[in-house]
Amino acid sequence: MRFRGVSAVAVGWTLLACVAGCAPAAAPSAARAAQDFYAAVQGGQAERACALLAPEAAESLRAGGQSCVTAIGELDLPGGRVLGTEVWGDEAQVRLSGDTVFLHRFPAGWRVRGAGCTSRGDLPYDCEVST
């Protein structure tokens, strides 16, 4: 019985260490995905920017009857330099000097779920691109 208790504690600490250690390891790749998205937007590469969106976010841009490429070209997305990144499992928030971006990790990598986002205090962020 005592061995099982020690094993459970050891497993618990191992999982806690992974959760604590895995998120910081994912932060640079989430930040890089946000930067790649904004580089495409600001470089006039709307097709590439749409490819970096989560499928639901790309679909939301098509809701107005336009293509994602046309819609993303009409948005004013400020971007900026990375100020901070937080990762919670497969979800991430990247704070840029001019924007806040939300991402989801898919098997193919991080994809943008929300961009052009502004805080509304205790309410959910208001995003120009969202799922």
- For the stretch 35-46, what's the b/e string if a residue is b when 16 or more beta carbons lie within 10 angstroms of its beta carbon? bbbbebbeeebb
The pLDDT confidence band at residue 24, using thresholds 50, 70 and 90, is low
The pLDDT confidence band at residue 93, using thresholds 50, 70 and 90, is very high
Residues composing the chain: 131
Domain locations in the chain as residue ranges = 26-129
58 alpha carbon, distance to own chain's centre: 14
Q: What is the mean pLDDT of the chain?
A: 83
pLDDT at res. 59: 93
Residue by residue, DSSP assigns 77-113 as -----EEEEEEETTEEEEEESS-EEEEEEETTEEEEE
- Output the CA torsion 94→96→99→104 (10° steps): -20
Residue by residue, DSSP assigns 24-57 as HHHHHHHHHHHHHHHHHHHTT-HHHHHHTB-HHH
Are 77 and 99 in contact, with CB atoms under 8 Å apart? yes
Give CATH for domain 26-129: 3.10.450
* pLDDT, mean of residues 102-106: 97
Q: Which residue did the predictor score with more confidence, 11 or 37?
A: 37
